Structure 1
Amino acid sequence: MGEERVERRLAAILAADIAGYSRLMGANEEGTLAQLKSIRTALVDPAVATHRGNIVKTTGDGMLIEFASAVDAVRCAVEIQRSLAEQNAAVPQDQRIEYRIGIHVGDIIFDDDDIFGDGVNIAARLEGIAEPGGVCMSDDAYRQVRGKVEIACDDIGQQSLKNIAEPMQAWRVRLTDQAASAEISGLDIGQSQVFPPSDRPSIAVLAFQNMSGDPEQEYFADGMAEDIITALSRFNAPLVIARNSSFTYKAHAVDVKQVGRELGVRYVLEGSVRKAANRVRITGQLVDTATGAHIWADRYDGELGDIFDLQDYVTESVVGAIAPAVQKAEIERAKRKPTTSLDAYALYLRGLARLHQFGNRQANGEALRLFNSAIEFDPEFASAYGRAAFCYLIAKVNGWIPDTANAIAEVKKLTQRAIELGKDDAIALSASGNALAFVVGDVGVGAGLVDRALALNSNLAEAWNFGGWVKIWLGEPEAAIERFARALRLSPLDPWLMAMRAGTAYAHFFLDRHDEAASWAAMALQCSPDYGPGLRIAAASNAMAGRPEQAHKAMARLRELSPTLRLSNLKDMLGPYRRAEDVARYEDGLRQAGLPE
């Protein structure tokens, strides 16, 4: 009896699934199904038909589509994602249906109206590392479409995919006309995400130029721009890029159009500060990044004691230019100042300058001293209490706390005052909440404080980052992924990018998505190769994904940096996880990677 012939052919395979499907169904099962049916009927099925695709099969949250051409597959994917992004613009973030799409060209087997083989498996794995709303393709697919499809792609390097023997080169489709993020001298940001333009007015405030001729006044110029960012962030209308990203352009001659592309913003605010004796001069200009045209420019002169009024004037002028319909209540809320003491304010700015020297033990200690000094000048300065508490968190993360009991007592005291005084201060609440959760272990109260901060200021990237970690500790990894995504959107060039990416890796790990976890861990280590949490999750996720070589490599570096690290003393470095099974899974991954008991 002859052997049955197997039908094989070369095809382009598109694999898609819905990000956060379980969460959406849990929140509103009937509504989600109705919304999904509408999207399939109005957007997906017509796009597949237009580009000559064949839907091989569908599942509750995904689909597998075959194309004869990689060009057709990519054009179909781009059309679906762009159309869906436009439709989602008016939908609340937590209710959006967003596909992740992977595309590969390879040999496939047809059997009983289904398809099998490595070509299918690789497309599915690439879908797993795509961003919600994004498209990821293999190098084989990229070679087929290069120069034939009017899109740009970012090389995301070699990716280790589950059950695929060798790492594969992968590409991320850029769904807007943004250019890839440039490398900024002195800052290794790795592969940065590319974000579509916001449907809200969006702005980046660059570091103000210090025109005083005195290097000691640099902090004052930085503080001016930072306070304008804070004030703008309190408005609901504009999307405001975080200071940690916009300040990466400091001391560089930049093209505002380039800044607009790299940060995904429509407007850029530039300025300068000249401080001499008791006089201050502030200049500012607002530029449309699409055209390079000046929307507004002005100069402000005043006494040093008028500095807060000058800041308010600049803020109102900028918001009036980009969002003229802002309500009076929002304007009044933006005017609220954390302190009226210029001495406390100056010390606080110096403390921020030290605090932003991340990973430096001496700088962190100096920041704590300066925040405490600011508190002495103004005992009701809520943000200073919150920042001081956060210094203890930085110390614990880096293992710089010799007396844990004393640190816990200090954080409790500082956060209590920050909460009492800063009921409307998002910075005080978010920094205090994160410190209270991590250092003290009071996750419930800490989570509530971060949530309150986000309600007050939805533009505060660090609060979204803090909130992501809190959700991981609470055992809510899907929510954590969404929060880290918001943080990345608001601060795509953040010096703490490794923490946002590592947090995303941990969230995927606890969802048993070990390939995705390993991919995010690799991106975190691109930013900071010796970042402890990144190395730990890289080791654990690669071990659980069946890639012992990569797991052991990460573990070897981790143990080189921390020779005394054992499973028995790992607790000191872990967050306050609520779910015992999360800790057990994490420890099992590290054990498989080679961490001794």
Structure 2
Amino acid sequence: MQSIGSFTFDADIGELRDNFGKPVRLRAQSLQVLSVLLSRRGEMVSKSELMEAVWPETHVTDDSLVQCISEIRKVLGPANSRLLKTIPKKGYMLAPAELRRASLEERLGMLPGKPWVAVLTLALAVLFLWATWFLSEPVSRQVKTVAVLPFVNMSGDGEQDYFSTGLAEDLLTDLSKINALTVLSRSATFHSRSPEESAKDMATSLGASHLVDGSVRREGDRLRISVQLVDAQTGASLWAERYDRELGDLFVIQDDVRSQIITALAVRLVPGEADRIASGNTVKVSAYDLLLKGRHEETALTREGVTRAISFYKQAIAADPEYGDAYARLANMYDFAARFGWNDAGVIDRKLALTTAETAVRVAPQNPFAHWTLGRILARQQDGDPEMLSRALGSVSRAIELDPKNADAYAFISLLHIGSGRPAEAKRTIETAFRLNPEAPSWYVQNRGIISFMDGDMTAAVSDFERAAEKNPTASFTRLWLAAAYAQADRGEDAEWQLEEAAALGAPTTIRDAISTNPIFQDAGYRSKYEEGLRRAGLAE
């Protein structure tokens, strides 16, 4: 049995399984490709070698292999798919195995049958804290950089992954609103970790001063949640708690966890922050649970995932008709479905996206995500209308007013600025986004690459597009931008390779369609630069 991130592959029967041992569906050829890559893990395997191994004495085109690679990446998901690397002009490589991250309960010795370990660990932690408090010299105040790790699902049911992950994501989001803290992004912290890796080692690799870790066990409506805050420099636990409650108490638990962490970090909130981070949650827990399911489904942004997410968000709204977050999430999914042409009624999806986003702002006028969503959808539907562009800029600016540390809003408004021919503003806002979120997700990096591309700096553009593709290998539009940048940098073969990958991932196959799916670029000069790059890469008119 061989591991691929949180998945395992049984070579004897040719079967891929998730982290709970559940078989994952893959076509026979894709399983064979995966098997070959696993047999030579850590090595580059050329296209010709893979073609010969999987399709011996059979005439097939490179497209068949690229389709298999794309299918494997989609099944593995954004985090695990990074392990499958493209080596331009050569082939593919599966990165060396990574061990799974142990749960908090395992590391604290809290699993049944190990009570003495928990007692010993607690005693040592108390002794260590006492020694640190009385013997250490006063330390200067430092900027606190917090890494929230994904909570481990202890339910024994992979279907519950959405719940543990969602709780950690929301805690990360809440803490990131505090000015005195720098909170690392989800893309920086939500990955596998070896059980032997200490908190101090992980913090060093992440550049964090503190770690928040946890685990969740859910059985019906009963919750068992364990959370701890660790001083990464010393490895000492500054605060730890276990909650054994009913699902209906979930918001109370979340409020207490957030409050205890803020207290343990000795953070002084500035005026307005307490109100901004307080949940004041009037949402029904059942609706929130459905929202978490939808968020989990939409992560990979595949057609199937978006379709399921739409269903969950509709159910959440039915359970709570005033749920602003659910409306905003639903609006985003309609927008993606329209953008990628996943439904026959694309025009209807566009209208639904806009009206649903407007509803989100109406029912939740103080929700920055709702304003960010409306601005994003207005920008994609502006079709050269300066009034809609003005509304889009206003909505995203309002999101920033409501949440001054909203890195996503800064990253997106940078794209609006470059698309409108304002490079100076684009550079300023993307730099702010990276300052607020140094370990940025792939789309930040892509946006910065677009700004460099339009500025004529192809070296910087190629570097960012390559990095964005590495962060999210299933993002088809990143591949198109990378192909255009390679072509403008006189790297024609690399450009052709990226066009193949983009097509396999479902990207537009003509320049006209690629431009129509990027309506933000209304500046004629900048739009022509993108067209020329795609043309030189070999994309059809």
Per the normalisation by structure 1, the TM-score is: 0.61
SS across alignment from 2:190:
helix
Task: Tell me the residue number matched to 1:505.
Answer: 449
Structure 1 pair 396–263 and aligned structure 2 pair: CA distance change class (3 A): farther
Q: Which has the higher strand share?
A: 1
1:415·1:432 contact (CA, 8 Å) conserved in 2?
A: yes
Q: Does 1:350 align with 2:293?
A: yes
1:534-586 residue CA offsets vs partner (Å, 9 max, x unmatched): 23222333333344444444446556767973334433222322311111222
Task: Tell me the residue number matched to 1:292.
Answer: 235
Q: Does 1:271 align with 2:217?
A: no
Q: Aligned partner of 1:400: which letter?
A: W
CA distance in structure 2 between the partners assigned to 1:391 and 1:411 by the alignment: 8
Task: Tell me the residue number matched to 2:190.
Answer: 247
Question: Could you say which structure has the larger radius of gyration?
Answer: 1
Structure 1 pair 530–299 and aligned structure 2 pair: CA distance change class (3 A): closer
Q: Does 1:403 align with 2:349?
A: no
Task: Tell me the residue number matched to 1:571.
Answer: 515
Structure 1 pair 212–572 and aligned structure 2 pair: CA distance change class (3 A): same
Q: Does 1:472 align with 2:418?
A: yes
Aligned counterpart in structure 2 of residue 207 of structure 1, from 147, 150, 162 = 150
Task: Tell me the residue number matched to 1:161.
Answer: none
1:324-360 residue CA offsets vs partner (Å, 9 max, x unmatched): 322464223311346421111111111111111x132
Deviation at 1:285, TM superposition (A): 1.1
Q: Aligned partner of 1:386: which letter?
A: A
CA distance in structure 2 between the partners assigned to 1:217 and 1:586 by the alignment: 43
Matches within 5 A, 1:304-319: 304-319=247-262
Task: Tell me the residue number matched to 1:179.
Answer: none
CA distance in structure 2 between the partners assigned to 1:392 and 1:581 by the alignment: 30
Deviation at 1:295, TM superposition (A): 1.6
Deviation at 1:302, TM superposition (A): 3.6
Q: Aligned partner of 1:245: which letter?
A: A
Task: Tell me the residue number matched to 1:532.
Answer: 476
1:39-65 residue CA offsets vs partner (Å, 9 max, x unmatched): xxxxxxxxxxxxxxxxxxxxxxxxxxx
1:443·1:473 contact (CA, 8 Å) conserved in 2?
A: no
Aligned counterpart in structure 1 of residue 366 of structure 2, from 411, 424, 446 = 424
Structure 1 pair 562–369 and aligned structure 2 pair: CA distance change class (3 A): closer
SS across alignment from 2:321:
coil
Cα root mean square deviation, aligned:
3.2
Q: Aligned partner of 2:292: which letter?
A: L
Task: Tell me the residue number matched to 2:326.
Answer: 384
Q: Aligned partner of 2:444: which letter?
A: M
* Unpaired stretches in structure 1, ≥5 consecutive residues: 1-182, 192-197
Deviation at 1:208, TM superposition (A): 1.8
Task: Tell me the residue number matched to 1:594.
Answer: 538
CA distance in structure 2 between the partners assigned to 1:516 and 1:563 by the alignment: 23
Paired positions, count = 406
Q: Percent sequence identity over matched residues?
A: 31
2:420·2:522 contact (CA, 8 Å) conserved in 1?
A: yes
Matches within 5 A, 1:19-38: none
Task: Tell me the residue number matched to 1:446.
Answer: 392
SS across alignment from 2:461:
helix
> Which structure ranks higher in relative contact order (CA pairs < 8 Å, sequence separation ≥ 6)?
2
Structure 1 pair 324–535 and aligned structure 2 pair: CA distance change class (3 A): closer
CA distance in structure 1 between the partners assigned to 2:220 and 2:324 by the alignment: 29
Task: Tell me the residue number matched to 1:515.
Answer: 459
CA distance in structure 1 between the partners assigned to 2:200 and 2:149 by the alignment: 13
Deviation at 1:186, TM superposition (A): 5.2
Q: Aligned partner of 2:391: which letter?
A: V
2:175·2:183 contact (CA, 8 Å) conserved in 1?
A: yes
2:146·2:210 contact (CA, 8 Å) conserved in 1?
A: yes
Q: Aligned partner of 2:312: which letter?
A: L
Structure 1 pair 423–200 and aligned structure 2 pair: CA distance change class (3 A): farther
1:206·1:250 contact (CA, 8 Å) conserved in 2?
A: no
1:279·1:303 contact (CA, 8 Å) conserved in 2?
A: yes
Deviation at 1:457, TM superposition (A): 2.8
CA distance in structure 2 between the partners assigned to 1:352 and 1:454 by the alignment: 22
Bigger shift: residues 523-532 or 361-370? 523-532
Task: Tell me the residue number matched to 1:44.
Answer: none
Task: Tell me the residue number matched to 1:133.
Answer: none
CA distance in structure 2 between the partners assigned to 1:477 and 1:483 by the alignment: 10
Aligned counterpart in structure 2 of residue 374 of structure 1, from 302, 316, 319 = 316
Deviation at 1:363, TM superposition (A): 1.0
1:242·1:490 contact (CA, 8 Å) conserved in 2?
A: no
Structure 1 pair 558–324 and aligned structure 2 pair: CA distance change class (3 A): closer
CA distance in structure 2 between the partners assigned to 1:470 and 1:238 by the alignment: 28
SS across alignment from 1:248:
coil
* Unpaired stretches in structure 2, ≥5 consecutive residues: 1-77, 87-140
Matches within 5 A, 1:84-483: 187-188=82-83, 200-249=143-192, 254-327=197-270, 329-337=272-280, 339-356=282-299, 358-439=300-381, 441=383, 442-483=388-429
Structure 1 pair 565–428 and aligned structure 2 pair: CA distance change class (3 A): same
SS across alignment from 2:191:
helix
Structure 1 pair 199–365 and aligned structure 2 pair: CA distance change class (3 A): farther
SS across alignment from 1:234:
coil
Per the normalisation by structure 2, the TM-score is: 0.67
1:521·1:538 contact (CA, 8 Å) conserved in 2?
A: yes
1:201·1:323 contact (CA, 8 Å) conserved in 2?
A: no
CA distance in structure 2 between the partners assigned to 1:508 and 1:184 by the alignment: 26
2:322·2:363 contact (CA, 8 Å) conserved in 1?
A: yes
CA distance in structure 2 between the partners assigned to 1:263 and 1:488 by the alignment: 15
Deviation at 1:301, TM superposition (A): 4.0
1:477·1:508 contact (CA, 8 Å) conserved in 2?
A: no
Q: Aligned partner of 2:418: which letter?
A: I
Bigger shift: residues 376-385 or 319-328? 319-328
CA distance in structure 2 between the partners assigned to 1:291 and 1:454 by the alignment: 36
Structure 1 pair 556–360 and aligned structure 2 pair: CA distance change class (3 A): closer
CA distance in structure 2 between the partners assigned to 1:500 and 1:245 by the alignment: 13
1:121-153 residue CA offsets vs partner (Å, 9 max, x unmatched): xxxxxxxxxxxxxxxxxxxxxxxxxxxxxxxxx
CA distance in structure 2 between the partners assigned to 1:471 and 1:556 by the alignment: 30
